Amino acid sequence: MIISKIHQQFSELNDLRAREIRVDKQLRKVFCTFSYPNVGELNIETRKAITEYTRSLVPTTYSCSVSFVNDQFTELSLKKLLNDILKNKYPLFAPLIKNNMYVSISGREINVEFKVNSVMNQNIETADLCGQLEKFFKEYTCYEIKLTSLIDDSASIKVDLAEQEKLVHFAVNRELLKPSRYFTVSNVEKHIGKVILSSPMYISDIRKATDSCVICGTVSNKSLKASKSNPNMHICKFTLTDASGGSITCVVFVKFEIADYLTIKEKMGKTDSEALTLSRTRTLANDKKMKKVMDIYDSMSVIVRGKVSFNSYSEQLEMCVYDICKCIISPISKLAEFTRPVADEYVLIKPSIYKEYLQTTFVDKIIGKSILSDKTYVVLHINATGYNIAKDKIFAICGVKITDGHISEQFFTYVNPEADISNEVLSKAKTSVEKIVFFPTITEIISDLYKFLNGCEIVGMNLPQTLDLLNYYAAPIGYQFANLQVNQTELLSNLFDNSIFVKKPNCTKLEDVAKTCKVNYDGSKLCFDTAVTVARSMSVLASRVK
């Protein structure tokens, strides 16, 4: 939100970029870095205005540090930046094109070419690497940057077959798992901004902040008020809801031109007649803008385009709207239903086959009918930052399958959260920031996880919230986890009641359960360790029935 508001407030500074916004919650401080082609051209008053406005956007309990840097690149410095971006955001591509990158700079234009073989070129096109990088640089610098991938079969590329295979799987999976649900709209009529020709996606399919997004729906809870910090700015807010059941807060910033006759005359140095003419022209333009905003009403059907970002106050995603069009939205029932079948094969995460878990004991194995007999369960545990689907992220997931009381398969992977998570949080899952970026995202493993869980009852803690998180990412690509849910504590309690164990432990404490069942458990919080411990305990209890 800070970046979009800065651009709105200082729209005359086309080359100003909010290069970095970093929040230190422990110090309660926000660090903002702005770039400009030549910072020396920004006078003291302009820098002061940018600094003060930025600080006004920061919560009152936080301090704010603002710095300015020159937006200047050499071929060497751009290569270094590009290598860092590839390493952090696209780690599988980094080693493969590091030495095949060619940069040329002419004035404020930069041309980047990746000269790679035909196989790598196909991977780059499938993953839309050049397009994604161009989007990043558009917000990062005012240079005009063009990135292209060229086929050069003589290019020397370090071959790592394992990494190549993984890269191909990622690229294919991204292509297969693109959202396939869009609304059909007709009679699109421009209202504010430009005509929108793109197909609107489901609001319920918006999963993260994005620079450009098109949605449609019905307006409600519309409000319009003047900005406290800028009298020439009005803020229009409304909730947009579509037939998918999703809704999002939309914000429209309407900037009015200064129309006061005396102000125009004094600040712009105009003659009386020029100032009067300009004042009348601007007044008419402002009245037209206000009428357009006033004409947005509750129950109005619209299609909008804008930028989606995360609002730290409401802890929800919201859209800064640039274009609004009136339209007629076709009912959802007229759209083709999209339900993806269970995949024939695993793509990225292949489950490990488990040998039967046997507990060494002096007590002979008792054969009888267990609660687990003739059923298939999966103990499903995750490591996540929380359960708010709009902001919290999963960074590890484990499922252990139990068939007829015996452990048969295990599904485990770390997950790239695509968000900043501290090493302190990740350390509980025995990983780090440097390692987590090399793993697939939650969207990329949904197909494999769905195949693993298909037809099984799920055992775990906080299952409704866990499945809400998973379905949040599964819905746009046609999957829905609707497995029967079994509370882990209740199942363990019932298994103990049906076993030969005389003393039943506190089933909410995994340490006590593991100790009673003589299963090794070191108290780890990694989902792999907890899920395996629960599964082994269940297997032991299934073999010790009354």
Which of 3.40.50.1860, 2.40.50.140, 2.30.30.90, 1.20.1280.50 would CATH assign to domain 185-334? 2.40.50.140
Cα gap 387→407, rounded to integer Å = 28
Question: Cα separations (Å) of 434 from 91, 272, 425, 527?
Answer: 11, 64, 13, 20
Strand 485-487 relative to strand 457-460, pairing: parallel
CB atoms within 10 A of CB 116: 23
| Dist CA 156 CA 115 (whole Å) | 9
Location of each CATH 3.30.420.10 domain in the chain: 352-542
- The token pair that represents 480 in the structure block: 């829905």
Q: How would you list the strands of the sheet with 29-36, edge to edge?
A: 17-24, 29-36, 63-70
Q: pLDDT tens-digit profile of 398-444?
A: 999 999 889 999 999 999 887 778 888 888 889 888 788 778 888 88
E strands along 25-170, which residues? 29-36, 63-70, 101-106, 109-116, 144-151
Q: Would the CA dihedral through 8, 10, 12, 17 be positive or negative?
A: negative
Task: Determine the topology of domain 75-176 in CATH.
Answer: Alpha-Beta Plaits (3.30.70)
Cα–chain center distance at 372? 38
Per-residue pLDDT band for 26 (boundaries 50, 70, 90) equals low
CATH placement of domain 2-70: 3.30.300
Order of strands, sheet of 485-487, starting from the edge strand that comes earlier in the sequence: 352-353, 406-414, 394-403, 376-384, 457-460, 485-487
State the span(s) of the chain assigned CATH 3.30.300: 2-70
Q: pLDDT (tens digit, 9 = 90+) per residue, 214-266?
A: 999 999 999 999 888 777 888 999 999 998 778 999 999 988 887 777 777 77
Instruction: Kindly report, residue by residue over 462-499, the tens digit of the pLDDT.
Output: 999 999 999 888 877 778 899 999 999 999 999 999 89
Q: Please give the CATH number for the structural domain made up of 352-542.
A: 3.30.420.10
pLDDT (0 to 100) of residue 186: 92
